[in-house]
Every structure is written in structure tokens, then in C-alpha cells.
Amino acid sequence: MHILNDVLGRPERIEILGPQNGSGPCLGYEGYLGSVIWALQIFSFFVVWLIRGVVACHSTSQVLLSDPRQRASWSPQLSLGSR
């Protein structure tokens, strides 16, 4: 909240954001805003990981399906085991 206070030019604390005890996953932010930012970081990491996994699986299956020697022996177990 210190960043928002600096932007607004008001030195007083804004106390409507929830508990300010500093416990929990606050990561240097205060109260509710810190929890939201922490949750967004976890969510964005998961989304990036999921997209990278889907792209890797898709590109692996495309390579296997485009190779005529591999097409006959391709199976989902083979592509999952090769990652």
C-alpha cells in the first residue's frame, strides 16, 4: 500500500484493506492486497506451466504423427513416456 499512498500523495495509511498484522503470504505488501498479489503470482505460474506443457505435448505429438515411420507405432503412452 505504500506505493499507492505515494502515488496519491497521502501519507496516511488506508485501513480498509483487511488485516494488517503481517502474517500470511503477504510478501512485503499489507493485508488483503498482498494476499491477492500472492494468489495472482501462484495462478500465473500455474497457467504458464500448463501452457508450456500443452505446447510441448502438442509439438511432440505433431512430430511423431508427421513421421511416417512413427505413425504406425504412435500411442498416447509413448508420447507421455517420452517427455
In the chain, domain spans: 2-82
Q: What is the 3-state secondary structure (H, E, C) of 10-74?
A: CCCCCCCCCCCCCCCCCCCCCHHHHHHHHHHHHHHHHHHHHHHHHHHHHHHHHHHHHCHHHHCCC
pLDDT tens digits along 6-54: 555 555 555 555 555 555 554 454 677 878 888 999 999 999 999 998 8
pTM recorded for the entire structure: 0.35
